[in-house]
């Protein structure tokens, strides 16, 4: 009996040690709320990446990864709450997240103050990494995305006049609109209407009436899929027949469900396309589809990449200390689904963008644009 008790205690101790050795990584995304499809894809991408790392033996020293994922609901206040929880209560050594720039801007200062490295998969607002040296991102930034959209409209669509409509309370949409306008005008085009609307509205006809009256050849809509679908329908109802261009916020199967035929002749900048023939892309698409029953969108690919980047840095660091992981992130040189990733001095990746067309209710790969 005594011998059995000793063996039992040893087994319990070994189990406790194994659990203690897990490397806790926080994951954050909007699983509910206005951009719920973004959060689901993000969680799926992170989960797949973690499972692959654990299947290969973990990060270093046989230590496995434990992903603790939180829903920020697409709300900055909630985002700040879950960032704090992950750091103070769960004891994560790093965070991958979140998605929407307004939420990441609420969480990044918390990571910076705590010395916890973080990488956002998809927050494109350039202010995000300006928060501090612990803050990285896996996606291109708004100036590049707005520039690509404007260049595509001016050169590929061959239009010379444009209008933009954007959310006044969202740094993401404002940033894209500003950079689109700046680039389009530099190229020689004219922005004939530039209209903002309050966050949360669903009737955009006041702004769109002014836009249609100005007779632009193209309409730039740098918002998330739920608003884009409504704006597109209302713009078509008011008589706008030209092409529409937007950013990566369009990337959701719900865009066509909401906008229907109104989003046809629509184009948006994005981080990757599942139609890209590169082996790394097709391998990821195959694995993701087998596990989750649908093709991965860009949010899934970006989350998968961001998690790989973070775990690669921890592996190279051979440590869970924040300063060491941070320094390892700065030296990143890794090939992931969206391409080769290195970071510039501002902790932003140098990478290409793709143009996706909405055609016959489906996303169709159009072109790749390098920086």
**5, pLDDT greater than 90:** no
The helices-and-strands tally (H runs, E runs) of the chain is: 12, 14
Whether the Cβ atoms of residue 237 and residue 231 lie closer than 8 Å to each other: no
For residue range 253-270, what is the model confidence (pLDDT) as tens digits?
899 999 999 999 999 999
pLDDT tens for 149-168 read 999 999 999 999 999 999 99
Q: Given phi > 0 = left and psi -120 to 50 = alpha, else beta, which region is 236?
A: alpha
In the numeric block, which tokens belong to residue 356?
A: 């996706």
Residue 7: CB atoms within 10 A of its CB come to 10
Q: What is the mean pLDDT of residues 23-38?
A: 95
Q: What pLDDT, on a 0 to 100 scale, did the predictor assign at position 3?
A: 52
Helices (H), 115-198: 142-151, 171-186
pLDDT score of 8: 45
- Domains in the chain: ranges and CATH: 2-140+278-351 (3.40.50.2300), 143-270 (3.40.50.2300)
Give the Cα separation of 140 and 330 in Å (integer): 16
Return mean pLDDT, the chain: 93
Q: How far is CA 342 from the centre of its chain?
A: 17
The CA R_g of the chain, rounded to the nearest whole Å, is: 22
* pLDDT for residue 108 is more than 90: yes
Of 99, 46, 53, the closest CA to residue 73 belongs to: 99
Query: Which two three-digit tokens encode residue 147?
Result: 């520039």
Geometric angle at alpha carbon 60, from 54 and 66, rounded to 5°: 40
CA dihedral 343, 317, 29, 299 (to 10 degrees): 50
Average pLDDT, integer, range 117-135: 96
Which pLDDT belongs to residue 371? 65
pLDDT tens per residue across span 291-344 = 999 999 999 999 999 999 999 999 999 999 999 999 999 999 999 999 899 999
Contact 207, 197 (CB under 8 A): yes
């Amino acid at each position: 009996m005594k011998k059995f008790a000793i063996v039992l205690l040893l087994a319990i101790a070994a189990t406790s040690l194994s659990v203690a050795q897990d490397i806790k990584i926080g994951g954050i995304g909007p699983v509910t709320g206005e951009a719920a499809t973004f959060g689901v894809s993000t969680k799926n991408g992170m989960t797949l990446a973690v499972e692959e790392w654990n299947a290969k033996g973990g990060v270093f020293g046989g230590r496995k990864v434990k992903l603790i994922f939180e829903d920020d609901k697409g709300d900055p206040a909630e985002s700040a709450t879950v960032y704090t929880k992950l750091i103070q209560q769960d004891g994560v050594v790093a965070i991958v997240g979140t998605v929407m720039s307004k939420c990441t801007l609420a969480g990044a200062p918390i990571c910076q103050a705590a010395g916890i490295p973080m990488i956002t998969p998809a927050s494109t607002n350039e202010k995000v990494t300006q928060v501090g040296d612990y803050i990285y991102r896996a996606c291109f930034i708004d100036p590049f995305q707005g520039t690509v959209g404007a260049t595509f409209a001016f050169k590929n669509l061959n239009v010379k006049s444009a209008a933009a409509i954007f959310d006044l309370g969202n740094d993401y949409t404002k940033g894209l609109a500003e950079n689109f306008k700046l680039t389009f005008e530099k190229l020689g085009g004219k922005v004939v209407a530039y209209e903002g609307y309050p966050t949360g509205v669903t009737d955009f006809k006041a702004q769109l009436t002014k836009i249609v009256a100005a007779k632009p050849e193209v309409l730039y809509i740098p918002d998330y899929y739920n608003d884009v679908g409504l704006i597109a329908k209302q713009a078509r109802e008011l008589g706008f027949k030209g092409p529409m261009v937007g950013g990566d916020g369009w990337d959701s199967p719900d865009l066509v469900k909401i906008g229907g035929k109104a989003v046809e002749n629509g184009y948006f900048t994005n981080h990757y396309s599942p139609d890209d023939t590169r082996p790394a892309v097709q391998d990821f698409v195959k694995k993701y589809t087998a596990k989750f029953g649908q093709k991965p969108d860009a949010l899934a690919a970006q989350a998968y990449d961001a998690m790989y980047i973070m775990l690669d840095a921890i592996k190279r660091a051979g440590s869970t200390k924040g300063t060491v992981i941070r320094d390892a992130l700065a030296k990143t040189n890794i090939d992931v689904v969206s391409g080769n990733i290195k970071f510039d001095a501002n902790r932003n990746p140098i990478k290409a963008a793709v143009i996706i067309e909405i055609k016959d209710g489906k996303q169709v790969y159009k072109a790749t644009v390098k920086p």
